[in-house]
Structure 1
């Protein structure tokens, strides 16, 4: 069943409260991904980009997403003003309630975008950067509206992956972070809120660690590219879809839990203070729910995942 335009995967929207207008600056992969995600959830999108004919590029992206979105129970926004392409960043700032900056990872380029947005956007407009390797503190420095600026970085493909990591800069207010958290969650996203900023956020750092090992094994002729991809897509990737590496380690430890599993790690690999943080966390988890109960739910969730993808197309097939 297709969801109503005013319904997100997070639940029905208040019929008396209009959805915020979304501004997008930049029509690369991330910018288009944000736009498509919002479009299929009934939001109005205002876009600007220096790319040739960004309206046509976005329209093609929206059309290409129709079949996958239908599987998710979502239909395109049929409103006449669902997508508006404007020539300037200032017009995006003036029209939008939430703006996502999605230009290349160059500090001065991003600062120029935020300079124009800060001058044109209303005082309550949230100004968000999709930056993956720059600090919001450096982007927002010196701007009058710095307190309403924050990082909101999605995972690719951004039109489908629900995770968004949000982080403050030094000048970002707590109120802004609360509003960003709520607004992005209301669109159906899963929000991972950082207490402080990092040059590279959690998901990309974990992804980079896997790539580093993959490149090393290929370079040592220990594995082929195809073997690497299969080990992820047919192995850890399917498990990670429903349970993380530390969670699985705690279950694998049985009655001893993750503390027992960590005994095989030297203090050089895992300093005592890290060990204490991890063990104490899972001691609290175990008091709430025992390992047998969590293992049962993990296995049921995994079965749902495996059943759901059993008949799905294999993008790796020749």
Structure 2
């Protein structure tokens, strides 16, 4: 497929709280785009405040896809995102509009943009349950150490609390005797689309302050009540959805393991660390054009710069 035959795809990515949502709406209006959410948590219904999910009245009539498509009890995967995202790119392009991926989940975005092939290792429930039981008995750090012993690169990318992905990486090594990191490194980047990838960053301390302010706002908007409602509906803390930032910390508070102050302190710390991991992941995607020091004071200037990048990359 030649470049001219490929679907044009715009991508806006960056760490949590950097300011993607407002910019995405303006760009979507300018370029007649439909937004595909590249966020692994916003797929879950009823998980709105803790995921900073855009509200329908804020969408300005712009179609948003892959939001509220799963119940919290249903685990969602990068492979599922890749399949659904690829189908949406075709459908949106077929309508004469621009597919626009917006989000911060690096594996999801990279797998779709570069057409990754996922490991052939199949689900081994007995192995998964054994690892889960080990983590319950010995703790998240001990399970993370198991991964670090066989695949240190993947371990460095995954938070000890990301039990599902840690177990999947261990499962791949158990079945294939190869590592997740080596599988990803060997991926042949096929570039199935004509891509324009724009990344947003800002001074680290400013970003951290924005993260803390966002969490305070979430709490003011009812995050505790949202988590309480999910637990009351039968959502268990070992569900993939409930492992998300904001949910696991507040659930620990509601079940008496932490004070609210301690839960909030932990949430802010873990979210800062998550933002750092997001940036580390994106930094190895060499095709991204970075917009540095992105903040309100220079918003108009950066918007012009982004439009110039889009004009160059996508000829729009």
TM-score (norm 2): 0.25
Bigger helix share: 2
Greater RCO, CA 8 A, separation 6+: 2
> Which has more radius of gyration?
1
TM-score (norm 1): 0.24
